[in-house]
């Protein structure tokens, strides 16, 4: 277990470029399964989760190669050679480490007519069932059962188009149903679909592969199935969550950060909250700048499906509230376990009281450095940033979580002026 130690009092200042979106690149890799041949995905972040997804594809019979511009680059290309005959089972030992691997369910069912995928794992941020995945695929003609921890789906006669209404605009369910529908017979309509930029990115890749999709970016997707798809070269969009982390870090540390490689429109509400807190925000086509000269003013934040405030930015929102002038009400509407890291923030001196899916945070001028541990990807990054606002040294353990979503995190911190050190954690932090 490694730890990251930061000295408090640092002010983030400078430029940082974000890599491709983790939540896009992983699903683009799954989408490559839909077309035999050689697909190439560029702007892929150098993170642990990508390596796990690559191994999932290898065990399904694909050849996966990485092309690195250089050994230190946060991005690389992934070359996926998909065979005519794919394997149909995604094993538990990998799927438990990466929830996104459930995204192979739809493509494999569409291509092979049968799939056996272990129930997924991933971050411990609350219950995220597969009910909507299963119900949607069943409406498309799949016979789905479960045994020994696996989801087993078959569609011997092929999937057929259907009208599907999602009870909630689930990103994962939308992705699986979308990728299954592109090879189904007839027309599939997904109502109350997720609208995230990563969904639009998948639609763009599938369209380039020959899929017929209407309504990308809206709550209704209409997919006309085709007989086959072709491999493509596609670049993943920039990571809005990593970009948002740096934006909120600039606000918390009264810094001045320019973030490049991202469409600021992906973060419209998150950046607007920073303006309300007192930041100066400048936007351009593929970058934005956040400048903060005074202590932030408290703001209330509610997480919602896109285009609402992203749940993945909630740790940063709580960090901002913890050092703001006044009290903030933070409401989490997506994951019931997202507040699990609050106890770690309290160890840094943050004054937080939770009640169900609400948290009241009373801001303090300064936090206090302490040993803490990351409980998930975003909480880990949020704790490191919060440590910059604390007196003394903050040591964040279990930073393997951060490695799953932030390429070159320590290098980026140093480039922004932070005194930061990564090392093997002593035994007392490996809890």
- Per residue in 169-220, pLDDT (tens digit) is 999 999 999 999 999 999 999 999 999 999 999 999 999 999 999 999 999 9
Q: Any known ligand binding at 352?
A: no
- By percentage, how much of the chain surpasses pLDDT 90? 84
Query: What pLDDT is stored for residue 191 in this prediction?
Result: 98
Cα–Cα dist 343/346, whole Å? 5
The rounded mean pLDDT for the chain is: 93
Q: Binning pLDDT at 50, 70 and 90, where does residue 349 land? A: very high
Q: Any known ligand binding at 336?
A: no
Tell me the torsion sign for CA atoms 47, 50, 55, 56. Answer: positive
Give catalytic status of residue 123 as yes or no.
Answer: yes
Q: Binning pLDDT at 50, 70 and 90, where does residue 123 land? A: very low
Long-range contacts from 211-218, C-beta under 8 angstroms, 24+ separation: 211/182, 212/182, 213/178, 213/182, 218/193
Mean local confidence (pLDDT), 2-27: 96
Cα–Cα dist 397/411, whole Å? 18
Helix/strand/coil (H/E/C) assignment for every residue in the chain: CEEEEEECCCCCEEEEECCECHHHHHHHHHHHHHCCEEEEEEEEECCHHHHHHHHHHHHCCCEEEEECCCCCCCEEEEEEEECCCCCCEECHHHHCCCHHHHHHHHHHHHHHCEEEEECCCCCCCCCCCCHHHHHHHHHCCCEEEEECCEEEEECCCCCECCEEECCCCCHHHHHHHHHHHCCCECEEEEECCCCCHHHHHHHHHHHHCCCEEECCCCCEEEEECCCCCCCCEEECCECHHHHHHHHHHHHHCCCEEEEECCCHHHHHHHHHHHHHHCCEEEECCCEEEEECCCCCECCCEEECCCCCECHHHHHHHHHHHHCCECEEEEECCCCCCHHHHHHHHHHCCCEEEEECCEEEEECCCCEECCEEECCCHHHHHHHHHHHCCEECEEEEECCHHHHCCCCCHHHHHHHCCCCEEEEECCHHHCC
Q: Any known ligand binding at 201?
A: no
Give the side-chain half-sphere CA count within 13 A for 380.
Answer: 25
More reliable by pLDDT, 92 or 355 = 355
Q: Any known ligand binding at 23?
A: yes
Tokens 């494999």 correspond to what residue?
Answer: 108
Query: What pLDDT is stored for residue 338 in this prediction?
Result: 82
Highest mean pLDDT among 71-75, 87-91, 396-400: 396-400
What are the extents of the domains in the chain? 2-18+239-429, 22-235
Q: Are the CB atoms for 281 and 311 separated by under 8 Å?
A: no
Mean local confidence (pLDDT), 332-347: 90
Q: Binning pLDDT at 50, 70 and 90, where does residue 427 land? A: low
Domains 2-18+239-429 and 22-235 share a fold: yes
Do you know the residue count of the chain? 431
Two tokens, residue 411: 């290098």
Q: Which residues are bridge partners to 146 per DSSP?
A: 151
Out of 65, 70, 123, 272, the active site residue is: 123
Q: Class of the 22-235 domain?
A: alpha beta
CATH topology of domain 2-18+239-429: UDP-n-acetylglucosamine1-carboxyvinyl-transferase; Chain (3.65.10)
Q: Any known ligand binding at 312?
A: yes
Q: Is the pLDDT of residue 383 over 60?
A: yes
**Cα dist. 148→117, 137, 193, 427 in Å?**
11, 20, 30, 36
Q: Is the pLDDT of residue 124 over 50?
A: no
21, 59, 96: which is closest to 405 by C-alpha? 21
112, 106, 104: which is closest to 83 by C-alpha? 112
Q: What's CA 263's distance to the chain center, in Å? A: 16
Two tokens, residue 307: 């285009």
């Amino acid at each position: 277990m490694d730890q990251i130690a930061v000295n408090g009092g640092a002010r983030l200042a400078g430029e940082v470029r974000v890599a491709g979106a983790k939540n896009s690149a992983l699903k683009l890799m799954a989408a490559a399964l839909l077309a035999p041949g050689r697909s190439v995905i560029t702007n892929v972040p150098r993170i642990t989760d990508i390596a796990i997804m690559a191994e999932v594809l290898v065990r399904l019979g694909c050849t996966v190669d990485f092309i690195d511009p250089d050994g230190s680059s946060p991005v690389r290309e992934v070359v996926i050679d998909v065979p005519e005959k794919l394997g149909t089972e995604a094993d538990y030992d990998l799927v438990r480490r990466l929830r996104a691997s459930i995204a192979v369910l739809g493509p494999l069912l569409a291509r092979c007519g049968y799939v056996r995928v272990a129930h997924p794992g991933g971050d411990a941020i609350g219950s995220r069932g597969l009910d909507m995945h299963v119900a949607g695929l069943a409406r498309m003609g799949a016979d789905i059962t479960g045994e020994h921890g696996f989801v087993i789906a078959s569609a011997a006669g092929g999937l057929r188009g259907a009208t599907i209404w999602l009870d909630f605009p689930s990103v994962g369910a939308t992705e699986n149903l979308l990728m299954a529908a592109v090879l189904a017979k007839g027309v599939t309509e997904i109502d109350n679909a997720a609208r995230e930029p990563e969904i639009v990115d998948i639609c763009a890749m599938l369209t380039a592969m020959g899929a017929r999709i209407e309504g990308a970016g809206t709550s209704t997707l209409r997919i006309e199935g085709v007989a086959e798809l072709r491999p493509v070269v596609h670049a993943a969009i920039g990571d809005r969550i990593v970009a948002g982390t740096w934006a909120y870090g600039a606000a918390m540390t009264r810094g001045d950060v320019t973030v490049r490689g991202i469409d600021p429109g992906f973060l419209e509400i998150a950046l607007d909250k920073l303006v309300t807190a007192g930041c100066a925000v400048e936007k351009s086509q593929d970058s934005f700048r956040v400048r903060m000269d005074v202590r932030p003013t408290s703001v209330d934040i509610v997480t919602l499906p896109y285009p609402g405030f992203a749940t993945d930015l909630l740790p940063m929102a709580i960090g901002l509230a913890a050092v703001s002038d006044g009290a903030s009400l933070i409401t989490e509407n997506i994951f019931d376990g997202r507040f699990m890291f609050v106890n770690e923030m309290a160890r840094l001196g943050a004054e937080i009281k939770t009640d169900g899916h609400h948290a009241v945070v009373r801001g303090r001028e300064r936090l206090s450095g302490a040993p803490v541990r990351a409980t998930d990807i975003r909480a880990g990054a949020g704790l490191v940033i919060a440590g910059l606002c604390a007196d003394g040294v903050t040591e964040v353990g279990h930073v393997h979580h951060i490695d799953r979503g932030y390429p070159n995190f320590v290098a980026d911190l140093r480039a922004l002026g932070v005194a930061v050190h990564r090392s093997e954690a002593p035994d007392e932090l490996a809890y």
